């Protein structure tokens, strides 16, 4: 762990400065350059060149930060004041080339690599799901292969789109091929909707992924599902990747590839809180496309999911 101030520099006090005033860092946290050391960094990647349907996730990081103005310092569900327990900072955005996916992936990997290590954790705001691959490459440099907990409506283990190997539907196939993930300790949560063929599931199983589907939430008790998920990732360093379309469009309409029949925001938060004690070394929240949002439903959900991820890290960094 890095050396950190005895009293972390926390968010702007909402009782002194109204929430709608000031610079919109995540939860109005200090910027990276304002602290000498940190435990958890929040970084944005405003990149959506890898999308296959509706674009717009490049505006996700800014919109999530704006929605996060409402967050408060104490998390009663996890009994932690994350910004007091650890030094958490907003590290701004990683600029990624919107016209060249290969170059963009290298830029994201380089930027993430600089922010992690020495016990520091990273939570990334996307952007589309293509960015999970360079983030996992950066994690691998510090932790070796990691367990993966992937929340999504879609498998994201397809091979190519239009012959291209790097898109938002392919990151976890590439990550498996590159040895970034721990075999048999990877699982999808919330999978649903039509597929191209049954082979999609067969390929996914061959790659070593387990699935807790959206239908499982209908037919199984939540504690049972949480236990299945925890058993799958085990005690290994775990990376949590959350595509906001894991939520039903009623809870998160602002996304690029919505699918009916998804999780509620309460179910997603409950599963995350059920990970308490897990060694979460990094996470992302991606595919927030605010142009399709209504009344900030999606960005509010994304900001609260991010807050719980930070809280989990704050309890165990």
Q: What is the pLDDT of residues 24-69, one digit of tens each?
A: 999 999 999 999 999 999 999 999 999 999 999 999 999 999 999 9
* Whole-number Cα distances in Å, 6 to 32, 38, 86, 87: 17, 11, 9, 9
Phi then psi dihedrals of residue 302, to 5 deg: -65, -40
CATH topology of domain 26-316: 3.40.800
How high is the pLDDT of residue 182? Answer: 96
Distance (Å) of CA 224 to CA 25, 209, 210, 233: 37, 19, 15, 15
Give 57-99 pLDDT, tens digit per residue.
999 999 999 999 999 999 999 999 999 999 999 999 999 999 9
Mean residue pLDDT across the chain: 95
Per-residue pLDDT, 317? 67
- pLDDT of 19 above 90: no
Kindly list the distances between the CA atom of residue 282 and the CA atoms of 11, 22, 285, 294, 309, in Å, as whole numbers in the listed order: 21, 28, 11, 29, 9
For 157-188, the pLDDT digits (tens) are 999 999 999 999 999 999 999 999 998 999 99
The arithmetic mean of pLDDT across residues 106-121, rounded, is 95
Cis peptide leading into residue 25 (ω within 30°):
no
**Cα–Cα separations (whole angstroms), residue 29 to 70, 153, 190, 198:** 12, 31, 31, 46
CA dist 313 and 239 (Å) reads 11
Report the distance separating Cα 130 and Cα 150, nearest Å: 13
* 3-class SS of residue 92: strand
Q: Cα angle at 272 between 283 and 141, to 5 degrees?
A: 25
Supply the pTM of this predicted model.
0.95
Cα gap 68→100, rounded to integer Å? 31
Is the pLDDT assigned to residue 3 strictly greater than 80?
no
The helix, strand and coil proportions of the chain, stated in percent and rounded to the nearest 5, come to: 40, 20, 40
- Using left for φ > 0, alpha for ψ between -120 and 50, and beta otherwise, residue 109 falls in alpha
For residues 65 and 24, give the distance between their C-alpha atoms in angstroms, rounded to a whole number.
6
pLDDT tier, 1 (very low <50, low <70, confident <90, very high otherwise): very low
Instruction: Look at residue 214 and tell me whether its pLDDT is greater than 50.
Output: yes
pLDDT at 17: 85
pLDDT at site 316: 83
Give residues with Cβ within 8 angstroms of 313, minimum separation 6. Answer: 39, 40, 82, 86, 121, 123, 280, 283
Q: What is the pLDDT of residue 22?
A: 84
Paired residues of 43 in beta bridges: 124
Give the separation between CA 189 and CA 274, rounded to whole angstroms. Answer: 13
Cα distances (angstroms) measured from residue 222 to each of 3, 212, 227, 271, 297: 38, 11, 9, 8, 24
DSSP helix/strand/coil, 165? coil
């Amino acid at each position: 762990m890095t050396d950190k101030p005895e009293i972390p520099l926390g968010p702007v006090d909402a009782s002194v400065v109204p929430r709608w005033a000031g610079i919109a860092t995540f939860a109005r946290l200090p910027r990276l350059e304002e602290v000498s050391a940190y435990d958890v960094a929040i970084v944005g990647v405003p990149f959506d060149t890898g999308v296959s349907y509706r674009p717009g996730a490049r505006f996700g990081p800014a919109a999530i930060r704006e929605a996060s103005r409402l967050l408060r310092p104490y998390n009663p569900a996890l009994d932690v004041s994350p910004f007091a327990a650890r030094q958490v900072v907003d590290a701004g955005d990683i600029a990624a080339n919107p016209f060249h996916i290969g170059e963009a992936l290298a830029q994201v990997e380089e930027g993430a690599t600089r922010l992690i290590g020495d016990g520091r954790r990273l939570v990334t705001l996307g952007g589309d799901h293509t960015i999970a691959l360079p983030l996992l490459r950066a994690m691998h440099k510090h932790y070796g292969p990691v367990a993966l907990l992937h929340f999504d409506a879609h498998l994201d283990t397809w091979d190519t789109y239009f012959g291209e190997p790097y898109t938002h539907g392919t990151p976890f196939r590439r990550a498996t091929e590159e040895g970034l993930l721990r075999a048999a300790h990877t699982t999808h949560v919330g999978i649903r909707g039509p597929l191209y063929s049954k082979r999609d599931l067969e390929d996914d199983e061959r790659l070593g992924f387990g699935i807790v589907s959206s239908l499982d939430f209908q037919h199984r008790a939540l504690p049972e599902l949480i236990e299945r998920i925890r058993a799958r990732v085990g005690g290994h360093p775990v990376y949590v990747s959350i595509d906001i379309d894991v939520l039903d469009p009623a809870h998160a309409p602002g996304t690029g590839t919505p699918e009916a029949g998804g999780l509620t925001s309460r179910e997603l938060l409950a599963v995350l809180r059920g990970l308490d004690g897990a060694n979460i070394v990094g996470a992302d929240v991606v595919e927030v496309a605010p142009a399709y949002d209504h009344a900030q439903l999606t960005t509010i959900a994304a900001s609260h999911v991010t807050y719980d991820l930070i809280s989990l890290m704050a309890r165990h960094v």
